[in-house]
Amino acid sequence: MTESESTPAGAYLRHPHLHGDLVTFVAEDDIWLAPLDGGRAWRLTADRSPVSHPRFSPDGSKIAWTSTRDGSAEIHVAPVDGGEARRLTHWGTTSRTLLRGWTPQGEPVAITSAGQPTARQAWAFAVPLDGGQPRRLPFGPIGHLAFEASAQAPGEAADRAPGDRVLLLSAYSAEPARWKRYRGGTAGRLWIGTEGADFARLHSELDGNIESPLWVGDRIAFLSDHEGTGHLYSSRPDGSDLRRHTDSSPSAPFYARNAATDGARVVWHSGGDLWLLDRLDGVARPRRLDVRPAGPRTGRRPYPLPAAGRLSSAAPDATARAAAVVVRGTVHWLTHREGPARVLAETPGARARLARVVPATVEGGPQGALWVTDAEGDDALEYAPDVLAQERRRYAAGALGRVLGLQVAPDGKHAAVAAADGRLLLVALADGSVRELARSVDGEVNGLAFAPDSGWLAWSQPTLGPWMLRQIMLADLASGTVSEATPQRFIDTSPAFTADGKHLAFLSMRNFDPVYDAHSFDLGFPTGARPYLLTLAADTPSPFGPRRGGRPADGTEEGAETPAEPKTEQPGEQPGGEAAGTGESGEAGESSEATGTVVDLVGLADRIVPFPVEGGRFGELRAAKDGVLWTRYQVVGELGDDAATLDDERPGPVLERFDLAKLRAEQLVDSLDTFAVSADGSRLAVLDGGELRIVPADRKAGEEDETRVDLARLRVTVDPAAEWRQMFDENGRLMRDNFWRADLGGVDWAGVLARYRPLVERLGSHDELVDLLWEVVGELGTSHAYVSPPGRAAPGSRPQGLLGADLVRDGEVWRIARILPGESSDPRARSPLMAPGVAVRAGDALLAVDGRPVDPVTGPAPLLAGTAGQPIELTVRQAEGVVRHPVAVPLADDEALRYHDWVAGRRAEVRRLSEGRLGYLHIPDMMSTGWAQLHRDLRVELAKEGLLVDLRENRGGHTSQLILEKLSRRIIGWGRGRGLATAEPYPGEAPRGPVVALADEHAGSDGDIVNAAIQALGIGPVVGTRTWGGVIGIDSRYGLVDGTAVTQPKYATWLEGYGWGLENRGVTPDVEVPIAPHHWAAGEDPQLAEAVRIALASLATTPAKTPPPLPEL
């Protein structure tokens, strides 16, 4: 490209296609048309929902595209000259559905994972224009395809029949621009062949990621980054005469993306512009299309935003009459009842976070507020000394790093800051001076808590790595001395000083009461946490201990939190050992009445005692008036399968209070997201489901005790253009500060951001912002750099209902061809038509849905829109002519149902090939789902002579270590009981013979690691193809101001045999067995067959372990 790739103004143009003198493209979440020679563009759609890949029909009369207008991605079509757009498919919830073009016969072609057992298997379908049943094309899972076309001039009708050859792109993966210079297993591979015959690889010599295969006249074209940047290339169909057609100079800094052709010309987008190449003769040069979409650009127009459901934090003031709240990056002083909502910060293009109340520094003085702002770029503190006045002070810009925690001292003079780089900082609110108190080298600190007298600070700090242990630390702020409050042995979190300053409460996982597992011989600690209390001064008795005078009969204590024991009186104390004043402690431990906190460091860990409450799972702990509060979580399964039904709401935490005088706990709040305590310890601000409630801190609220705060008084306006600028810059800072290498792998990150930043001014929708952010982070060439929009359903979306069956058109009726069997151990894999009483059978004709006749062309799918999870009446006619009206409940997603059916099919094939000698297990991921799937059939499959462990399409996670523990076991003994036919192996759940693993390009992340570990540990050979190659892990902790999730590759992995080289390469199998398109078409699985052959060969030389006979007398 010889011109600048990006214009300073205009729209962000993507996904072009052309026909004759017209070009179609995507901008502002709509489909557009424009003259090819430039000028004003006009909208074809006005749905304002993400769309992609518009394509002209071969005759140029229609345009088809992918739209999410109705919720899920579906294929739509409309006349070029105007008219009603029609939805052609009703595939429902899928991981990927993308239009890829048209057949030469004039049918749209799309790839979709609908009807497949896993999200990675996206087949191509030809979609009839009458809305009839899509026809699956026999090429297997692919990412793209192109049919051989006749040579013709632009815009002319074809003068000869198209060729028979098809150009295929291997299984779909992420677009190359989103992971630039990717070289792992899913890098695009080209195949060429004809339907019904073998396919051959093309350009296997190119070490790059190929995308957008095209037939252009008598040549093929494609995008590839094998020279370092995404360019357009072409060659003859046999792979000879390779040419590059785009410029590689610094004036062309962006990837060429999503190329398309009309059979003679090629068009693509790059850096928000559309580019055209008229010929592939090696002489023609690309030219930028001067296309200008018309319209008001409503996507950039400011709009009001309701605050309900969007409060990210709420910090109550001293008596809970008001709170400092954060909504969409703005800060407000919100009175709780019969008062106004005053804005404290709402600078367009700046994000405010973590608002805190600053107590009055003198009696009767004003309350202030403090929050984090990025108005100057890097985080700084913004301080309002008086929330009712206009003065603002900005402190420590550029000196804090990314602020993760913020807490204000009870005396209002200092704030503690926890930074992402592990530093703990103390900021003076008088002048903004910053002092470093401590620095963690194993991750960030959290749980900041001041003592009531503001003289001490406690926090939780990681030890022995970011995921291992945490301990409570204490700092004497006068001297700056930092000491250990708890040893480096457990996971100690959420410290809080009691209101009198004599104790430090915290949560700790040091409760070792094992529970036997229900499915496997194992023990775990699901209730391993409980709250603990640390007595700070050596001579202060525990509130839980015995008393010399005993306790009152009713269990109450007058005016004291701790027992009155005779001791030497100290200055400022009353007789009996009680401090003068019984101050209260909120989240920051504020109290002007409490006496100075005394800490005896010697023997501190020996004074830790548990609260007399049941162990369990806990979230956060805070101190309040006369007690301590914590959130407790119910012990439930990770998948939610132990609920009564999958529709049940997953139980959230409850809020409990422990009364330090009565020494008993009670539940105050049934459900909540988070809570904060007023400075006087008397009231709580509870956030729950988007609501803010103010409730008492010492008892369960009644109707008169509770205040539901009216959030409608918060007036927030979102300026999309300013917000997108802020999000772009914040995403850049997050990556700069968290990427696994401080040098960002040699990438000039500041230069990258400067190059892409002008494109922000061209954005017209949030989907375009997500696309831009993806491409920016893709410059780092590293895995796990994701950008995910907030999961909000499209307005008016109607989830498609699925019957868990395959239906076919039979003349004028639609019949049930096959009903998928359910899996009783997985509630997601229920089969609607096999439910009790439904009794629909294969061969039955489906005549109507809820009384609406099934159209003989479009079938029942349109009638099932919006029925997911709802009872519907089916009218079916059985083979013998009997008409029935069963009631069924369609699924919203049938992937689980089809997955279990696929696993059963693979297992049956292994049994057939091995004559019953080998077991088969498929592990879909390294998370809870995969752990559950492993154990469904573990014992049965391990009882076979050998085992195939299928790790293909493993989506990764973090449980590979647990999987490896199972696979690494070796039988060294047997147990046999009298009268029992089966001997028990020792250790149990161990393979009896050879283990062979299967891997493919879709096994990634922890799926990469488990395959590499199988090789390193010598468990068995790995058969298949090279894996994904993404092992730089993430913690998914950051979100942008509107809820967009962004990740930063932070945790690198080194493994024996690969070193650091697993990233961007993947695991090389011991035995490579590719699956070509013709294998898929024939229903063959050569990888599975080879794994069986290897296992049987191993058994021939090394038989499986078998129990010995009993000894003779």
What would the pLDDT profile of 615-657 be if each residue is shown by its tens digit? 999 999 999 999 999 999 999 999 999 888 888 888 899 999 9
Dihedral sign of CA atoms 1023, 1025, 1026, 1032 in order: negative
- CA distances for 122 relative to 98, 111, 143, 169, 747, angstroms: 9, 6, 7, 12, 34
Contacts of 469 (CB under 8 A, 6+ apart): 462, 463, 488, 489, 490, 491
Provide the edge-to-edge strand list for the sheet that holds 257-261: 257-261, 266-270, 273-277, 287-288
pLDDT (0 to 100) of residue 191: 97
Q: Where does residue 582 rank: exposed (0-12), middle (13-18), buried (19+ CB within 10 A)? A: middle
**Mean pLDDT, residues 694-708:** 92
CATH number corresponding to 896-1101: 3.90.226.10
At 848, list the tokens. 């109507």
> By the 8 A CB rule, do 935 and 519 touch?
yes
209 CB neighbour count, 10 Å cutoff = 25
Residue 577's pLDDT is what? 34
- Cα(54)–Cα(320) distance, integer angstroms: 55
Residue 423 pairs with which residues in a beta bridge?
439
Q: What is the pLDDT of residue 551?
A: 78
Closest CA to 667 of 676, 654, 677, 678: 654
Q: Which residues neighbour 560 within 8 Å (Cβ) at sequence distance 6 or greater?
A: 578, 582, 661
Other CB atoms within 10 A of residue 547 CB: 12
**What are residue 670's phi and psi, to 5 degrees?**
-75, -30
**Architecture category of domain 719-781 in CATH:** 2-Layer Sandwich (3.30)
Average pLDDT, integer, range 407-431: 97
Q: Angle at the Cα of 791 (from 789 to 795), degrees rounded to 5?
A: 110
CB 420 within 8 A of CB 730: no
Distances (CA, A) of 235 to 1, 190, 214, 222: 19, 12, 11, 9
Mean pLDDT taken over the chain: 92
1005 carries an active-site annotation = yes
Residue percentage of the chain with pLDDT more than 90:
86
CA distance 124 to 110: 6
Confidence of residue 792 (pLDDT cuts 50, 70, 90): low
Kindly indicate the confidence band of residue 159, based on its pLDDT and cuts at 50, 70 and 90: very low
* Cβ neighbours of residue 8 closer than 8 Å, sequence gap 6 or more: 758, 761
d(C-alpha 381, C-alpha 417), whole Å: 10
pLDDT at 918 over 60: yes
Tokens of 565: 């024991």
- How far apart CA 30 and CA 765 sit, in angstroms, is 10
Q: At 1, is the pLDDT very low, low, confident or very high (cuts 50, 70, 90)?
A: very low
CB 687 within 8 A of CB 674: yes
Tens-digit pLDDT profile for residues 81-120: 988 999 999 999 877 899 999 999 999 999 999 999 998 8
Q: Identify whether the C-beta of residue 175 lies closer than 8 Å to the C-beta of residue 181.
A: no
Mean pLDDT of 693-713: 93
Residue spans of the domains in the chain: they are 14-295, 304-546+581-639+649-716, 719-781, 805-892, 896-1101
pLDDT value at 564 more than 70: no
For residues 321 and 682, the answer to whether their CB atoms sit within 8 Å is no
What pLDDT digit, counting tens, does each position of 512-559 carry?
999 999 999 999 999 999 999 999 999 999 999 888 888 777 666 554
Q: Average pLDDT of 375-383?
A: 97
Q: How far is CA 549 from CA 159, 546, 554, 564, 578, in A?
A: 107, 9, 14, 9, 16
Q: Where are the beta strands (DSSP E) in 750-871?
A: 787-788, 805-810, 813-819, 845-849, 852-853
- For 1063, what's the count of Cα atoms within 13 Å in the CB-facing half-sphere? 21
What's the predicted TM-score (pTM) here?
Answer: 0.93
- The whole-number average pLDDT for the span 29-33 is 97
Give exposure, 222-237, as e/b (b: 16+ Cβ within 10 Å): bbbbbeebbbbbbbee
Distance spanning both ends of the chain, measured CA to CA: 90
Q: How confident is the model at residue 36 (pLDDT cuts 50, 70, 90)?
A: very high
Name the CATH code of domain 805-892 (choices 3.40.50.20, 2.30.42.10, 2.70.240.10, 2.70.98.90). 2.30.42.10
In the Cβ-directed half-sphere of 184, how many Cα atoms lie within 13 Å?
A: 29
Instruction: Give the three-class secondary structure for 542.
Output: coil
pLDDT in tens, 566-597: 444 343 333 333 333 333 333 333 333 456 89
Catalytic residue among 1063, 1078, 1090, 1098: 1063
Residue 513: burial class (beta carbons within 10 Å; 0-12, 13-18, 19+): exposed
Q: What is the mean pLDDT of residues 963-982?
A: 95
Does domain 14-295 fall into CATH 1.10.340.30?
A: no
- Residue 583, pLDDT score: 33
Cβ pair 676, 624 in contact under 8 A? no
The three-state secondary structure class of 196 is coil
The tokens for 20 are 């004759």
Helices (H) and strands (E) in the chain, counts: 10, 73
Helix (H, G, I), strand (E, B) or coil at 966: helix
Three-state SS for 924?
Answer: coil
Kindly report which listed range (152-166, 277-291, 404-418, 577-591) carries the lowest average pLDDT score. Answer: 577-591
Distance CA 524, CA 896 (A): 28
Q: Which amino acid is at 187?
A: A
Is residue 232 scored above 70 in pLDDT?
yes
Give the DSSP letter of residue 691. E
* Candidate list 1005, 1078, 1090, 1098, residue with the active-site label: 1005
Asked if 562 contacts 533 with a C-beta cutoff of 8 angstroms, the reply is no
Structurally, at CATH architecture level, domain 304-546+581-639+649-716 sits in 7 Propeller (2.130)
Residue 231 annotated in active site: no
Mean pLDDT of 965-983: 95
**3-class state of residue 666 by DSSP:** strand
**Preceding omega of 253 cis (within 30 degrees of 0):** no
- In angstroms, the CA 95 to CA 792 distance is 16
> 783 catalytic, yes or no?
no
> Is 378 in contact with 398 (CB distance < 8 Å)?
yes
Say if residues 673 and 687 touch (Cβ distance below 8 Å). yes
Name the least confident of 12-16, 277-281, 363-367, 472-476.
Answer: 363-367
Q: What share of the chain is helix, strand, coil (3-state, %, to 5)?
A: 15, 35, 55
Return the half-sphere exposure (C-beta side, CA atoms, 13 A cut-off) of residue 83: 10
Rounded mean pLDDT of 1021-1027? 98
| Main-chain phi, psi angles of 930, to 5 degrees | -65, -35
pLDDT bin (cut points 50, 70, 90) of residue 55 is: very high
The pLDDT value recorded for residue 329 is 97
pLDDT of residue 355: 97
Q: What is the pLDDT of residue 356?
A: 98
3-state SS assignment for residue 456: strand
Q: Which residues pair with 41 in a beta bridge?
A: 293
Q: Which of 336, 414, 784, 1078 is catalytic?
A: 784
User: Which residue is associated with the tokens 């799309």?
Assistant: 110
Give per-residue pLDDT as tens, 828-886. Answer: 999 999 999 999 999 999 999 999 999 999 999 999 999 999 999 999 999 899 999 99
For the chain, the farthest-separated pair of C-alpha atoms sits apart, in whole angstroms, at: 108
Q: Quote the CA–CA distance of 511 and 515 in Å, as a whole number.
A: 12
Model confidence pLDDT, tens digit, residues 124-153: 999 999 999 999 999 999 999 999 975 444
Cα–Cα distance list, 30 to 13, 53, 295, 552, 789 (Å): 11, 11, 12, 74, 18
Q: What is the pLDDT of residue 149?
A: 77
- The answer on pLDDT for 156 being more than 70 is no
Q: Do the bridges between strand 515-516 and strand 503-509 make them parallel or antiparallel, or are there none, so unpaired?
A: unpaired
**Residues 6+ away with beta carbon under 8 Å from 571:** none
Q: What is the DSSP letter of 786?
A: -
The values of phi and psi at residue 910, to 5°, are -65, -40
Q: What is the DSSP string of 263-312?
A: SS-EEEEETTEEEEE---SSS---EE--EEE-S--GGGS-EEE--TT-EE
For 275, phi and psi rounded to 5 degrees?
-130, 145
461, pLDDT greater than 90:
yes
Residue 1087, H or E segment: helix 1086-1101
Q: Is 369 helix (H, G, I), strand (E, B) or coil?
A: strand
Q: Is the pLDDT of residue 155 over 50?
A: no
